[in-house]
Structures are given as structure tokens and as C-alpha cells.
């Protein structure tokens, strides 16, 4: 049996794809999730996890557990010897975080603190943290490398990512046997090629690709394009979209890095290529064979014109680089969306 890896928020979009890759790479993931965003399947197992079990013909240890439940977390660490922890759990809606800052700070920071403290008392000193390019704020230069200044983000969600990074960095400085890899994601999209797992936002999607996919499948009528007067190729916002399976493979590479007693390391996970909103819409029209109606709407507060990674450091030090192009990302997203028009739940509720 492979090394045990605790995956927090493992039923969610990125977490579940990482669980799948962990198993394929020979690890033994133990998954926790509180179902604040993920869909519960039959029994107490998350639907995403149940589908991975089916796909890989295996069983996955899953616990419904909230990281704010300190005694529950301590119990879990008593039962298992984890080689490392991958921390995905957290609230992640940018707009909501502006409206409910206290909730975001309390949940995201307390969850991270509980986890790190319980790791510390149980001698688990290897951590992969799900961070975000949002820590860079409005870029002062492009492409963005890891040396770009951080902390400039304006919303509470992004600040929690920044604060947690700082906490982990300080802990690694204080205790030399700690190792952590902070992964700054650009814009993860797409889905596993099986079409069995994918992103399933609850309510109206905040992010571009889930929204576009729901328009293509007929669940929403028309995309609002937030601004067409940016200084970009066609005036719409440019982002570095990365296939979620590539991203997940980056986490496996990060786990291997921890083995080198690397201390605290920071890597961008992106492709290095930027696509505009309208280019993405075109890509999804091609993948789905559907027309995607859109209208130009005002800019969304807090959005930057362009954001894309310099992904060189991850290639040099992790031996990882993104493989899948935009066409493949759109094809895989469409497969997931068309096979699961209402996501993980069977009935249409939104």
C-alpha cells in the first residue's frame, strides 16, 4: 500500500482530480470534506469520490469532516500516519468574500491553523497548499514569475490565500523539519477525460468556463462578458487557463519535491499562455458545436486586464509542465458538462 496522503476538500473540483491522480501514482489518499460545496452521494460518500471509486475499481477512505472540528481532526490524525497533507478545503467565492469578510477569514484561516497545529502535534511535517495567482494582485509585469510582489489582492478570499502562505512560510522558518510547497494556480478548467468528474458550482457560476459550459448545455441563456475595453487582444480579459488534470499532476510532482526536504517552496501552476474571454468562447463553441450567445456587460469590480504565468520554475525544479492545450481543455469540459448537464445531482434544481 502506498503512502497515506490526507486530502482536505478532496471532494471538490480540484481536490477530486488530485485524489484520482494520487491513486494512479500509487498513493493512498484519505479524503475529508464537509460538503459545504461538494455534492453528497449515496450514504456519506461524496458523489465525486464515489465516481472515482467506480472508474478506478477501488475503494477510497472518505470522512465527512469539517476542519473547524478540532477534536474530529485530532482523532483522524490518531488513526492514521500521514506522509503528507494536501490542503484544498476552503471557501472560494471572490464576490461572496467581499460581502462576508468575517466568515471568509474565520473559516479559511481557522481551518488552516487547526490543520497546521494538528500536523505539528502529530509530527506530520509535509504540506502541499492550494494557493492562487490571486496573491499577485494586479500584475506589475507579465508573465508573472514567483518573484513578483504578493499581497496586493483586494478581496478577502485572495487575502486568506496570502495570509495562509505567510503562516506556512513562517512555520517552515521556525521548524526546520517542516516542508511545504505552495502552489499558485492560475485558472484551472476542464475535467477528467472520463467525463465522470468535473466542476459543479452550486448556484450561478462565478467563473467563466462553468458559466459558458452551462450556456452551451442550455441551462443558461446568455453569457455576460465583463468588459470589452481592456488593453488586450480583443478588449476582453486575458487569463492563463490550465487543465485541471495537468494541475493535479503538478501536485504529484510537489509531493515528490517534499521528499527532498525542500523547506518552503513556491511554484506557479500555469501554462504561460493567455486567452481572452472571446477566444475561450470560440473554443467552447467549437468543442460543443453550439452557438454561445453573449452580451458585453460592464467590467466586474476587482478584475485585472491580463494575468498569465511564467511557469519555468516548476519545470526546472518540479520537472512538471502543462501538456494540454485549449482545444483539449474545452473538449474535456464539454464531455463532462454534456454527460452531466446538472452536475453531480440528477435533477434540475437551478
The yes or no reply on residue 307 touching ligand UFG (CB under 6 A) is yes
Q: Show the binding pattern over residues 70-89: x = contacts ligand UFG (CB under 6 A), - = does not.
A: --------------------
How many C-beta neighbours within 10 Å does residue 124 have? 21
Select the span of 38-46, 113-121, 132-140, 260-268 touching ligand UFG (CB under 6 A).
Answer: 132-140
Select the span of 50-58, 97-105, 193-201, 223-231 touching ligand UFG (CB under 6 A).
Answer: 223-231
Shortest distance in whole angstroms from residue 231 CB to ligand UFG: 13
The yes or no reply on residue 4 touching ligand UFG (CB under 6 A) is no
Select the span of 15-23, 101-109, 129-137, 144-152 touching ligand UFG (CB under 6 A).
Answer: 129-137
Q: Which of 113, 149, 110, 108 is nearest to 131 (CA)?
A: 108
The yes or no reply on residue 207 touching ligand UFG (CB under 6 A) is yes
Query: What stretch of H or E contains 312?
Result: helix 312-318
Rounded Cα–Cα distance for residues 10 and 230 (Å): 36
Please report the beta strands in the chain, taking only residues with DSSP state E, as ranges in sequence order.
4-8, 28-33, 61-64, 84-87, 126-132, 179-185, 187-189, 223-226, 238-239, 241-243, 264-269, 275-276, 294-297, 306-307
The yes or no reply on residue 300 touching ligand UFG (CB under 6 A) is yes
Of the candidates 134, 214, 271, 340, which one interacts with ligand UFG according to CB under 6 A? 134
Q: Which is nearer to ligand UFG, 123 or 224 (CB)?
A: 224
Q: Is 157 a catalytic residue?
A: yes
Q: How far apart are the first and last CA of the chain?
A: 42
Of the candidates 36, 100, 193, 206, which one interacts with ligand UFG according to CB under 6 A? 206
Catalytic annotation, pick one of 157, 185, 241, 275 = 157
CB-based contacts of 155, cutoff 8 Å, min separation 6: 94, 97, 98, 134, 302
The yes or no reply on residue 224 touching ligand UFG (CB under 6 A) is yes
Rounded Cα–Cα distance for residues 85 and 5 (Å): 6
Q: Is 347 exposed, middle or buried (0-12, 13-18, 19+ CB in 10 A)?
A: exposed
Subset of residues 148 to 167 that bind ligand UFG, contact rule: CB under 6 A: 158
Subset of residues 229 to 288 that bind ligand UFG, contact rule: CB under 6 A: 237, 239, 277
Select the span of 115-123, 131-139, 193-201, 334-342 touching ligand UFG (CB under 6 A).
Answer: 131-139
How are strands ordered across the β-sheet holding 306-307?
A: 275-276, 238-239, 306-307
Shortest distance in whole angstroms from residue 3 CB to ligand UFG: 29
Rounded Cα–Cα distance for residues 224 and 337 (Å): 19
Q: How far is CA 340 from the centre of its chain?
A: 20
Q: Which is nearer to ligand UFG, 179 or 276 (CB)?
A: 276
Q: Which residues bind ligand UFG (CB under 6 A)?
A: 92, 94, 132-134, 158, 187, 206-208, 211, 223-226, 237, 239, 277, 300, 303, 307
Q: Which residues are catalytic?
A: 157
Amino acid at each position: 500500500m502506498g503512502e497515506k496522503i490526507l486530502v482536505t476538500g478532496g471532494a471538490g473540483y480540484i481536490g477530486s482530480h488530485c485524489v484520482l491522480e494520487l491513486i494512479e501514482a500509487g498513493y493512498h489518499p484519505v479524503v475529508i470534506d464537509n460538503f459545504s460545496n461538494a455534492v453528497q452521494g449515496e450514504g456519506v460518500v461524496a458523489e465525486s469520490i464515489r465516481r472515482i471509486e467506480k472508474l478506478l475499481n477501488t475503494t477510497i477512505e472518505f470522512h465527512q469532516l469539517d476542519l473547524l472540528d478540532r477534536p474530529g481532526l485530532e482523532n483522524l490524525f490518531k488513526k492514521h500516519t500521514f506522509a503528507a497533507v494536501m490542503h484544498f478545503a476552503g471557501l472560494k467565492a471572490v464576490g461572496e468574500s467581499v460581502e462576508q469578510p468575517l466568515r471568509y477569514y474565520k473559516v479559511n484561516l481557522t481551518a488552516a491553523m487547526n490543520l497546521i497545529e494538528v500536523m505539528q502535534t502529530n509530527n506530520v511535517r509535509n504540506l502541499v497548499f492550494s494557493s492562487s495567482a490571486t496573491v499577485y494582485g494586479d500584475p506589475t509585469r507579465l508573465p508573472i514569475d514567483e518573484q513578483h510582489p504578493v499581497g496586493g489582492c483586494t478581496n478577502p478570499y485572495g487575502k486568506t490565500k496570502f495570509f495562509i502562505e505567510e503562516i506556512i512560510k513562517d512555520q517552515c522558518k521556525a521548524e526546520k523539519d517542516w516542508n511545504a510547497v505552495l502552489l499558485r494556480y492560475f485558472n484551472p478548467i476542464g475535467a477528467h477525460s472520463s467525463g465522470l468528474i468535473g466542476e459543479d458550482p452550486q448556484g450561478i457560476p462565478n467563473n467563466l468556463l462553468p458559466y459558458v459550459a452551462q450556456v452551451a448545455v442550455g441551462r443558461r441563456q446568455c453569457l455576460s462578458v465583463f468588459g470589452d475595453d481592456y488593453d488586450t487582444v480583443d478588449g476582453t480579459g486575458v487569463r492563463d487557463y490550465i487543465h485541471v488534470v495537468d494541475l493535479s499532476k503538478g501536485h504529484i510532482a510537489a509531493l515528490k519535491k517534499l521528499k527532498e526536504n525542500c523547506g518552503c517552496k513556491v511554484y506557479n501552476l500555469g501554462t504561460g499562455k493567455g486567452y481572452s474571454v472571446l477566444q475561450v468562447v470560440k473554443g467552447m463553441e467549437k468543442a460543443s458545436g453550439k452557438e454561445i450567445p453573449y452580451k458585453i456587460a460592464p467590467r466586474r469590480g476587482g478584475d485585472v486586464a491580463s494575468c498569465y504565468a511564467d511557469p519555468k520554475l516548476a519545470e526546472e525544479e518540479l520537472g512538471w509542465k502543462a501538456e494540454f492545450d485549449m482545444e483539449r481543455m474545452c473538449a474535456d469540459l464539454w464531455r463532462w458538462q454534456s454527460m452531466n448537464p446538472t452536475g453531480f445531482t440528477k435533477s434540475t434544481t437551478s
